[in-house]
Amino acid sequence: MGKHKINVLKENQKVIHPNSRKAKKLSKMVSREIKMKKRRGENNLKLQVLGDKLLWFKKEMDPSIEVVTPKDVLNLIQK
């Protein structure tokens, strides 16, 4: 894999023409970064919901039961 490039904008940097290849490349990188942040947020939300559900089951389970059967889980859900 290639090394990640860090783009640092300088004060004296030339103005980039909006239709140039460089401008298209920069806009593509920015839009990809936004899309990846959005995806990470969605995945974190899904995992958080799953964790909350599993935590609820853990709290509601009877600790005296050694082996949990599907029937026990069904009864727990129907409570």
Beta carbons of 60 and 76 less than 8 angstroms apart? yes
pLDDT digits over 26-63, tens only? Answer: 899 999 999 999 999 999 999 999 999 999 988 988 88
**pLDDT for res 8:** 54
Mean pLDDT of all residues in 14-35 = 89
Instruction: Find where tokens 């970064």 sit.
Output: 33
Beta carbons of 23 and 17 less than 8 angstroms apart? yes
Closest C-alpha to 62, from 49, 50, 73, 78: 73
pLDDT digits over 56-78, tens only? Answer: 988 988 888 889 899 988 988 89
The pTM of the full predicted model, rounded to 2 decimals, is 0.56
